[in-house]
Chains A and B, each alone.
Chain A
């Protein structure tokens, strides 16, 4: 069974440019998470989906970040415009609804220069 797939693995952009990350969760997993991980820290939640619905986006900086999960499967996270402080690893994870057992993708390492 395929795990959580993310792309791209690495991205380098100039500040003020837009960037998008894509995630394909494990088949059958209703819950999808986007986490942000800074160097030396644990992941922190950006947004959580139950099927197509964003049920927790309280930590998402909505002035520049947006996310969607069309048809309750794949998801895209976008940043526009990117700032230097957005340099981090963006992790996608999925789980069965309500269960804490979440599986992560390899992440997208973003560098904003």
Chain B
């Protein structure tokens, strides 16, 4: 079993929809939680960074961390075709490597 599980999709939604992306993990020592967006043939771009549990909002993006359930989510409001990309969740312990999920492919149709 992988440390971080993420549904690869693809997830296809109409423009304007609310998108929910999720990851589960097994290592309770993870403290830092991140979401990256990766366009084709580009490097991962950091979208959201959260320490420990709770919510964080940045524009159309909201990240949630539930450490008791070992579950993290990324919500995208008013999705746009430009949001079409692969979304990677990642997490780490202090002073340690990032462990990634496999990524979810998102397609937003205009």
Is residue A70 within 8 Å, beta carbon to beta carbon, of the partner chain?
no
Tell me, in angstroms, the Cα distance from A16 to B32 when the chains sit together. 40
The count of residues in chain B whose C-beta lies closer than 8 Å to any C-beta of chain A is: 29
**Interface footprint category on A:** 20 to 34
Given A41-B103, A42-B103, A104-B43 contact (CB < 8 Å) = yes
B60 within 8 A of A: no
Contact indicator A100/B98 (Cβ below 8 Å): yes
Instruction: Check B43 against A42 for contact (C-beta < 8 Å).
Output: no
Which B residues are in CB contact (< 8 Å) with A101? 32, 34, 46, 49
Q: Give the shortest distance, in Å, between A45 (CB) and chain B (any CB).
A: 5
Instruction: Pick from B4, B41, B46, B103: contact of A102, CB below 8 A.
Output: B46
Determine whether A44 belongs to the interface, using a CB cutoff of 8 Å to chain B: yes
**B53 within 8 A of partner (CB):** no
Q: Taking the complex as formed, is A29 at the interface, i.e. its CB lies under 8 A from any CB of chain B?
A: no
Measured in the bound complex, the distance between the Cα atoms of B4 and A41 in whole Å is: 12
User: In the assembled complex, how far is the CB of residue A104 from the closest CB belonging to chain B, in whole angstroms?
Assistant: 4
- B8–A40 touching, CB < 8 Å: yes
Question: Which A residues touch B102, using CB under 8 A?
Answer: 40-42
Q: Mark interface residues in B27-55 (1 if CB within 8 Å of A CB, else 0).
A: 00001111010000111111001010000
Q: Is B95 engaged at the interface, CB distance under 8 Å to the other chain?
A: yes
Question: Which residues of the partner chain B approach A98 to less than 8 Å between Cβ atoms?
Answer: 94-95
17 additional A-B residue pairs with CB within 8 Å, beyond A4-B43, A56-B97: A40-B8, A40-B102, A40-B103, A43-B100, A56-B96, A93-B98, A97-B95, A98-B94, A100-B33, A100-B91, A100-B94, A100-B98, A101-B49, A104-B36, A104-B45, A104-B46, A107-B42
Q: List 6 A-B contacts (CB under 8 A).
A: A42-B103, A43-B98, A56-B96, A91-B43, A101-B46, A102-B46
